[in-house]
Every structure is written in C-alpha cells, then in structure tokens.
Amino acid sequence: MLVADYTLRGWAMVKAFKEFIQKGNLLQLAVAFIMGVAFATLVGSFINDIIMPVVGKAAGNVDFANLYINLSGEVYESAAAAREAGAAAIYYGAFVNNLVNFLLIAFVVFLLVRAYARMEKPAEASAPTTKECPYCKTSIPLAAVRCPHCIAEIGG
C-alpha cells in the first residue's frame, strides 16, 4: 500500500506539472527570461559603449575597463593582456562597469514597475445585485417582490 501511495503522488505531480505547462506560466517565464537577457545585453552595451567612455573622458581620459591592480609583479600592457596571461590581479575597472550597469538596470526596472502601478486601476466595488429574504435568509435578486424559495411576499 505504501508503494501505491507514492505512485499516486507521483502521478498527481505529473498531472499538476502538465497543468502548469498548459496554463502558459512556463512559456511566460521563458519569454521573460529571454527578454531579460536581451535587455541586459542592450543595457550592457549602452553602459560600456556610451556612458563609460563619457565618464572616462570627464575623469581625465580613463578607460575603466583597463583599470586593475597587478598582484603578480609582472608588467602587462592592459587588463585584457593580464587576464589572458592568467595573472593574479584585481580588476576593479570591470567591477565599476558592472556596478554602473546594475544600477542602471535597477533604476529602469524601478521606473517600469512604478509606471505599471500607476496604470493599474484599483478595483471598484460593484453595486450589489442581490438581497436577503427577511424570512428564509436566502439570496434573491434585488428586483424580486416574492422569494422563490419560501414564496413570501417582499416589499419593493
């Protein structure tokens, strides 16, 4: 009996998973993930190709992607060369780029959520369509003058 119980739970789980897929939740999640990756790529390009060069120019012609602290003692011409050589280094310029990237993405998501919240209308309370029979306490339409359950006459 114990084995049969686990089998029934397994089939119930398969059935629940099938319903989950058929409702579209999985498809919506996949689309959201793909859009998120595409959005992150777009924002990353915006940061690395537009924002950071302007910030670097304002900071005195600094390329943040090439900022690193070499811990190996050898000399490398760029952070990319140090990475390629596998040198022990702290690449804080890449961290600054990623930090700016994260902050910009977080700000845009904040703006999107805020705009969505403004567009969402509060649920309006609908007017009641039924009333209670004072005699048998069943629910009847507002326009009813006689209760269909107890046939009592109800004043309009």
Q: What is the pLDDT along the chain (156 residues), one digit of tens a residue?
A: 444 555 557 778 888 877 777 776 777 788 889 988 898 888 888 888 888 888 888 888 888 888 899 998 889 988 889 989 989 999 998 888 888 888 888 888 888 889 888 887 776 667 888 889 888 888 988 888 888 888 888 875
What CATH superfamily is the domain 2-120?
Large-conductance mechanosensitive channel, MscL; domain 1 (1.10.1200.120)
Roughly what angle, to the nearest 10 degrees, separates helices 25-46 and 2-22?
60
The whole-model pTM stands at 0.51
Which are the contacts of 100, defined by CB distance < 8 A and separation ≥ 6? Answer: 47, 51, 52, 55
Between CA 20 and CA 113 the distance in angstroms is 26
* Strand spans (E) along 1-155: 69-70, 89-90, 130-132, 139-141
